[in-house]
Structure 1
Amino acid sequence: MLCTRCRIRTAVTDDGLCTFCSGTRPPLPDGVMAPAPGPGGWDVATWPRSPVGLARAVTALLGLVMAADLFAIGTGLHLRGLWQGLATDGALNIYTGDGRTAEALYGIAAVSQGVALLATGVVFIIWFHRTRRNAEVFDPSVQRMGPGWAVGGWFVPIANFWFPYRVASGVWEASAQTRPDGGRRTVPRTPLNLWWGAWVVSLLCTQVAERLWERAEEAEAIVRAGGLLAASNAVDIVAAVLAVLYVRAVTGMQVERALHGGAPDGPAPAPVPGAHR
């Protein structure tokens, strides 16, 4: 049975805690020092905290984001088709009950997108900060920015296109999976780079499409803006899929790294029997 607190190591106490969470962990071997604080001046916890539960929540919420985007694409294309009919054939369906229904459904889709994105963003940032604090335990020497930037970096105009990536890069490097002998092997950053690139493209496409939609007045302009909004929603789905892969990759690496010990330069302890149950 896994520890009820960290969900990483095997429980050894009657209340379901492992040796580390119960405070009965053995002292570090001779000559091994606890990792020193990295950038930002934060004290470093001796052992990492599991990101598994948060990762599952983020994955589920990203699924809701994808569902909301699909709903927006369907309702948006239907509304666009009504405007297309007005632009090409002079059909007035956009002004009838069908048009009002289509606009109402598209409004509901927009609200559902906003709610899903907000909830996902909050939980994702909490997970992101957890993994950054864990990275401080694994290897503070490769962290380029302090743990606070795992939260604040998303809210700095213009810099939010770069700061979170720098944080994520340090987390990825510190979380690299270990070999059985405790050494680290290089893990390609493809999931990180693809996710970040898709997220930036999605953000830019959404901003451009929404501005065109708000400014469109003629039927032809509305049709063009509606097509761009549908395309931006499709890009957002791709970014959400890549975000799931990125979250799973980092979480898996951190669990693997924790099983082999948190101190970056110390000998890795042997995995606890039954830890993968």
Structure 2
Amino acid sequence: MNCARCATYAAAPGGELCRSCEAADLHPAPARAVAQHPAPGLPTHTDLPIQSPHGPAWLRSPVGLGRAVAILLGVVIVTDLVAVWADLVMLDVLGRMVEGEYGWPVEADADRADRLVGLTGSAQLLAYLATVVVFLIWFHRVRVNAEVFEPFGHRKKRGWAIAGWIVPIVNLWFPRRIALDSWDASSPSTKPRSHALVNAWWTMWIIGGVAGQVSGLAMRRAETAEELRTATERVLFADAFEIPTAVFAVFFVLALTRMQDDKARSGPREPEPVAAL
């Protein structure tokens, strides 16, 4: 059924008006403001909000934040590489101890390895915390931007873009759901992007999180040299697995940032006309 007002475009499901006429009724001022900008010159920041079911949404550029997240993820990768080296050094010392080598040389090597692991662990933690803060700001911004592109395509409220990472249990799938909704809303209307990259990044994130929890628990429970060696092997796996996880995160962040920037610069999309019945 065509729109009861303009009779040109298809009516939204369950209603009598098309999306364009519904948006004009909800918030006519932003619609006029957007129309004043030609498509090639559409800015990545607007002074007036777009009305969506989740409240007013402003379009703001994610480019700077996206680049900052990518750089910080690069720092995380570097600290993980150093941590892998420190884990290998520790494994060498623990292997010598398990084989029965004792004395001041192995004790001195164990002290150096322990200090090295401690330093790299601190560097990893600092890099990780800085990345988390900037990533959450970026993630919330692209979530709000996605409402400007598609006000009706989001199953989680925008507050979950941050809370979804913190609340136990729901953090296993809420962030992925929000990422997919934002990805779809930011995807080119003529050629929607596949979910493969989002799913690959999220799968590796979950596996890496489980590996980190398992290795941390094993390290806390280890007492003997043999147990410490086994725990360190698990830590080595977790540190090594975090490297490709961070690489996929970089690809995801840059891809979504680029899609939103391109879509903002291409201007508003008109609904596709349908043939009269």
Q: Same fold (TM over 0.5)?
A: yes
**Shift of residue 89 of structure 1?**
3.5
Deviations 1:2-32 (A, max 9, x none): xxxxxxx988xxxxxx778586x9xxxxxxx
Indicate conservation of the 8 Å contact 1:195/1:243, yes or no: yes
Aligned residue number for residue 55 of structure 2: 42
Aligned residue number for residue 167 of structure 1: 178
Aligned residue number for residue 98 of structure 1: 109
Compare CA radii of gyration and give the structure with the larger one. 2
Pairing 1:212–2:227 present: no
Aligned residue number for residue 125 of structure 2: 114
Identity within the alignment, %: 36
SS of 2:193's equivalent in the other structure is coil
Indicate conservation of the 8 Å contact 1:139/1:263, yes or no: no
Q: Which runs of 5+ in 1 are unaligned?
A: 1-8, 12-17, 26-33, 179-183, 268-277
Letter in 1 for 2:192: T
Q: Which runs of 5+ in 2 are unaligned?
A: 1-38
Aligned residue number for residue 10 of structure 2: none
Aligned residue number for residue 196 of structure 1: 202
Indicate conservation of the 8 Å contact 1:94/1:100, yes or no: no
Aligned residue number for residue 259 of structure 2: 253
Pairing 1:71–2:77 present: no
Distance of 2:114 and 2:142 partners within structure 1: 41
Indicate conservation of the 8 Å contact 2:44/2:261, yes or no: no
**Shift of residue 136 of structure 1?**
0.6
Pairing 1:125–2:140 present: no
Letter in 1 for 2:109: D
Letter in 2 for 1:257: K
SS of 1:140's equivalent in the other structure is coil
Which deviates more from structure 2 when the two are superposed, residues 186-195 or residues 128-137? Answer: 186-195
Indicate conservation of the 8 Å contact 1:54/1:127, yes or no: yes
Letter in 2 for 1:62: L
**Shift of residue 189 of structure 1?**
1.1
SS of 2:93's equivalent in the other structure is helix
Shift of the 185–68 alpha-carbon distance from structure 1 to 2, 3 Å rule, reads: same
Deviations 1:62-85 (A, max 9, x none): 011011111111111101110111
Shift of the 94–166 alpha-carbon distance from structure 1 to 2, 3 Å rule, reads: farther
| TM-score (structure 1 length as normaliser) | 0.78
Distance of 2:73 and 2:82 partners within structure 1: 14
Indicate conservation of the 8 Å contact 2:83/2:121, yes or no: yes
Pairing 1:154–2:169 present: no
Letter in 1 for 2:56: D
Indicate conservation of the 8 Å contact 1:138/1:264, yes or no: no
Distance of 1:264 and 1:137 partners within structure 2: 14
**Shift of residue 151 of structure 1?**
0.8
Aligned residue number for residue 26 of structure 2: none
Task: Identify the structure with the greater helix proportion.
Answer: 2
Shift of the 156–264 alpha-carbon distance from structure 1 to 2, 3 Å rule, reads: farther
Distance of 2:270 and 2:220 partners within structure 1: 52
Pairing 1:229–2:235 present: yes
**Shift of residue 186 of structure 1?**
1.8
Letter in 2 for 1:195: W
RMSD: 2.4
**Shift of residue 97 of structure 1?**
2.1
Deviations 1:144-190 (A, max 9, x none): 11111111111101111111111101100100024xxxxx3221111
Shift of the 21–105 alpha-carbon distance from structure 1 to 2, 3 Å rule, reads: closer
Distance of 2:44 and 2:245 partners within structure 1: 37
Distance of 1:20 and 1:243 partners within structure 2: 23
| TM-score (structure 2 length as normaliser) | 0.78
**Shift of residue 207 of structure 1?**
0.4
Q: How many corresponding residue pairs? A: 235
Deviations 1:70-105 (A, max 9, x none): 111111110111011110233446852221111111
